[in-house]
Chain A
Amino acid sequence: MSYFKPINKHPNLEKNKLGLTRRDYEGGVSTLCAGCGHDSISACIIEACFRLNIEAYKVAKLSGIGCSSKAPAYFLNASHGFNSVHGRMPSIATGANCANEDLLYLGVSGDGDSASIGIGQFIHAIRRQVNMVYFVENNGTYGLTKGQFSATNDLESKNKYGEDNLFPPIDLTSMAIQMGASYVARSFSGDRDQLVPLIMGAIQHKGFALLDIISPCVTFNNHDSSTKSYDYIRNHNEAMGKTDFVPLGEEIKTNYDEGSSVEVKLHDGSRLSLEKTDHNFDPTDAGNSLELIRKKNKEGKIITGLLYVDNKCKPLTEIMDLPDKPLNTLEQEELCPGSEVLEEINKGLS
């Protein structure tokens, strides 16, 4: 029995502007458990990159440790990658971001990696507005180490063996909004129609984008008392109305009645069009967002969709006024201003 995906593909497979098909954005065959939500997220990342005509060699995939952190091996085979130690991906991302602004940074982490061991790093990457898409593949458990409670597991959600969880969960979305994240969304690995446009928006956004994606662990956290199982999420998901990603220069194809959608312009001019719901919700008002999340958490609902966006934020490299060009492409003249300038400086010191 061969586990490799045969290389032949459907002859009518759609091609993007680069002449590539979805399959050209694939990675190795997944070694995660069959049915793991993380694999669906990888598929959505592939879809988003395909639709945005992204060149894989201009992407860096960064991760820590965990099943979720293994996922970058299963998409974008032709991209750069860095698998850091547990919880340390945010510092790698910060450094890489400073050194080369040109790459698209996709950080893939888990709830353990980000909300436990790496939480300090996570908060600082947000605070510094690192320009990246930060995926938390949130399954409420440490999948890789066989199912211990993670810091995002709900209080009432027992583990697979029936043990009680003693501590309340951290809500990563509210925390990120409070720390200054400029694009915050929550979604569900099983809802591609919602997740793909959210990823596309996050990629086009300039600044720290957090995607907190509930991603069921079929092996350790998909049982009856779990609040992160496929069934539970499907029964408690309250999606914020349809999100559409509208590339620059394209008309909105959705047919909502006029005034029934909110538009958010992204940095490159593309737009996210959000179907309005009765929440009477303005995604650019942080207070409003925090209130909605708090209210829904209390109702026992999982609110999904774009929760907050600040399209006027300044990313890290602008705050620090770093050179636009990647450091490794700076020429001798740019790095060394020459003896005349040195003399000027020296003069100033004397």
Chain B
Amino acid sequence: MSGKKYLFKRNNVWWVKLAVPLSLRSELGYDLRRTTGEKDLDKAIPIRDKIIEEFKTEFQIRKVNADDKGIVLRGTEHMQKTDISDPQYFHKVVDCQYACPAHTNVPEYIRLIAQKKYDDAYMLNWESNVFPGILGRTCDRPCEPACRRGRTHDKPVAICRLKRVTYDYKNDIDPYLPEIPKVKNGKKIGLIGAGPASLTVARDLLPLGYEVTIFEKDNKPGGLMRTNIPSFRLPEEVLDEEVYRIIKMGAVLKTNSYIDSLENVIDSFDAVFVGTGAPKGKDLEIPGRKEANENIHIGIDWLTSIAFEHTKSIGKKVIVIGGGNTAMDCCRTAIRLGADDVKVTVRSPKSDMKASDWELEEAIDEGIPILDNTSPKEFLLDDEGKLKGMKFEKMEAQYTDGKRKLIPTGEEIIIECDDVLLAIGQDNAFPWIEKNIGIDFNEWDCPIVDKTTMQSSHPKVFFGGDAAWGPENIIWAVAHGHQAAISIDNFCSEVDLFNRPPPLTNLVSQKMGIHEWSYDNGISQEARLEVPHADLKQALNDLKMEVELGFDEKLALEEAQRCLNCDMQTVFQEKLCIECDACVDICPTDCITFTTNDTEEKVREKLRVPALNLDQDLYVSGKLATGRVMVKDEDMCVHCGLCAERCPTGAWDIQKNNYIEAHNLNKGRVKAKEVA
């Protein structure tokens, strides 16, 4: 097996994903995923092969179990008619929405942008991801590597930067915010930490009448979004608007309130949510560390002290140690504070760096050299005991069985410096949680948290964001927040936590009349547009000047036209089909084949273009008059609607798939409707 088969990229690391045979999906879910831990494709490939073997064994084991239960497995059977009433089926076709942890309805908001309905586009985002203005500038954007356009064309739609457009062009959206009940429901919830995770929980609970109190150790809310994401990437006014919008919904915010004992607060609340992040920056214990302490800074703490304007300068020569996004923010901040010689050093090869491609690019564009395969050995001091430089050893990466080993070469280099910034990772830390109050921790001092409910071993205590399983990103913190809020609402209403609200879905035909469809299928064939940047020289002299200017309206509308409308689903009704092949002939990407049924493996082989991407499902009809079936490979469909347009009998229809992931906001809406 070669190429990128079964591989996809997430957070810049290659992951393996294998489609689960239909019959095992109720047990295993739609697919099995595991990270290879590799950024470099060549290295990921051998690991992929191993993982696939393991997955196959997994299937085999389940298969044996299934045989025991008398379940017939699809693997040896003809393909079954696709069940499109399963909300997950079409959800999965909308690649971006499926990949988004909060399942934001991307194609719908892009369409709203195209119609210049910025308020609506913003609100659609706000309901799902809570911070459209912030995320439109900083999101880790798992949707983009998933975007279908990356398969059918070259580069994905600029989904993230279009989200920013909804913020930049909206008007006053206050009238559309949910109503907060004057009469409260009597339940009090305590949220510890005012980062995106807690803020999401607050937003989802306030409209249901909960009384919410947020405790924050700093003097302003926002968490790492305020203290660590530099304002040249995220201007303060954007952050303030979206963070205080939630506080204004009625949360009681207690700043400068470090919680030093969970036990002390737990009894004052019906439930407690811990959203305290992963606040401890890792240190580097090598010779000279203690002696040079004055000029060595933990990256995340240093960024925090800049955000709060405690630190306003840095030495001329700066070394940043680390290869992740924090290192990128540190080096770019250092230049802006006046350093004129900033270098980033990483132990691993450049291709293995953890930083997102675009963050690395920005640093390189600002003229910062990245020295890879460079491992720190010693902090060097001058006669007065002050830091004067660092000693490094050059490393060489060797790969055996897909596992990377960094081998010291013995070659040493010395780099002069005035200050060093350490950006080598973050840990969770819960010194303030008593060990005897019923919260179980694992061997790495992380709480044991249920993946679905976010509940800890203490029924009243929920975790989310970086506090739950270590550092992630904002959109995952939001997704956790939604789930925790659902759990807290269930918990306080004495409903089983696993009895979770299903997504709201409906499929609506887009046919308006003969040759009339209610969506614009005329996609742009242009390449992805670049976001304009501020003048580099000016930007480097101003810590607060936003580097990216965002799309102007013209660019935004052009980029929006690149979206393939993947939520416009092709729905097939075999009883209407006369097998005239009109759809087969018109389909620009050869998605449709009429063929005899067989096992999935064989069907995939014999399509007009063999369906090699197992991530994507085949849509199989029931038996047609000739005994054949219609098989559509969802992989390359560009949702042009021409199959439905050319079908003489209406056997194909284009239906918009509205998939709204459940969260308390829409749960509340359903409740309100039930009352009415």
Contacts and interface: CB of A to CB of B under 8 A. Distances in A.
A296 to B, nearest CB: 21
A206 B649 CA distance: 40
A35 B649 contact: yes
Interface stretch (B304-312, B406-414, B446-454, B640-648): B640-648
A40 B580 CA distance: 7
Given A1-B521, A2-B522, A35-B580, A12 B588 contact: no
A10 B191 CA distance: 50
A234 B625 contact: yes
B42 interface: no
B648 A13 contact: no
B529 interface: no
Contacts of A216: 580
A40 B585 contact: yes
Contacts of A30: 586, 646
A314 B89 CA distance: 60
Contact of B647 (A29, A34, A222): A34
Given A5-B642, A190-B580, A34 B648 contact: yes
Contacts of A337: none
A192 interface: yes
Contacts of B52: none
B609 A10 contact: yes
Given A3-B642, A9-B590, A12-B609, A218 B636 contact: no
Contact of A33 (B151, B522, B584, B648): B648
B290 interface: no
A34 B636 contact: no
Q: Which of B152, B520, B525, B588 has the largest count of A CB atoms less than 10 A from its CB?
A: B588
A124 to B, nearest CB: 34
Interface string B267-296: 000000000000000000000000000000
A37 B151 CA distance: 32
B220 to A, nearest CB: 48
Interface in A303-345: none
B586 to A, nearest CB: 7
Contact of A12 (B610, B638, B642): B610
A1 B645 contact: yes
A190 B584 CA distance: 12
A218 B648 CA distance: 8
Contact of B152 (A2, A3, A8, A234): A8
Question: Chain A interface residue count: which class?
Answer: 35 or more
Question: Chain B interface residue count: which class?
Answer: 35 or more
B579 interface: yes
A14 interface: yes
A39 interface: yes
Q: Is the interface of B mostly helix, strand, loop or mixed?
A: loop
B172 interface: no
A34 B588 contact: no
Q: Which of A4, A6, A43 has the largest count of B CB atoms less than 10 A from its CB?
A: A6
Nearest to A230: B578
A34 B646 contact: yes
B255 to A, nearest CB: 53
A294 B336 CA distance: 92
Contact of A35 (B153, B517, B647): B647
Interface string B471-485: 000000000000000
B579 A230 contact: yes
Interface in B374-399: none
Contacts of B426: none
B523 interface: yes
B584 A14 contact: no
B438 to A, nearest CB: 55
Contacts of B520: 1-2
A8 B646 contact: no
Interface string B514-534: 011100111101000000000
B2 interface: no
A11 interface: yes
Contacts of B579: 190, 230
B582 interface: yes
A3 B521 CA distance: 9
A349 interface: no
B433 interface: no
A3 B525 contact: no
Contacts of A222: 578
A171 B277 CA distance: 83
Given A39-B582, A190-B579, A230-B579, A7 B525 contact: yes
Contacts of A39: 581-582, 585
Contacts of B645: 1, 3, 34
A12 to B, nearest CB: 5
Contacts of A5: 586, 588, 640, 642
B82 interface: no
B264 interface: no
B651 to A, nearest CB: 10
Given A9-B588, A39-B582, A40-B581, A1 B641 contact: yes
Interface string A248-287: 0000000000000000000000000000000000000000
4 nearest A-B residue pairs (beta carbon): A35-B648, A2-B522, A35-B580, A43-B585
26 contacts: A1-B641, A6-B523, A6-B525, A6-B640, A10-B589, A10-B591, A11-B151, A11-B152, A13-B590, A23-B588, A30-B586, A34-B582, A34-B645, A35-B578, A35-B580, A35-B582, A35-B646, A35-B647, A36-B582, A39-B581, A40-B581, A43-B584, A216-B580, A230-B579, A234-B625, A234-B626
Interface of A: 1-14, 22-23, 29-30, 33-37, 39-40, 42-43, 190, 192, 216, 218, 222, 230-231, 234
Given A1-B520, A190-B580, 19 more contacts: A3-B515, A5-B586, A5-B642, A6-B523, A6-B638, A8-B588, A9-B589, A10-B591, A10-B609, A12-B609, A30-B586, A30-B646, A35-B646, A35-B649, A39-B581, A40-B580, A40-B581, A40-B585, A218-B648
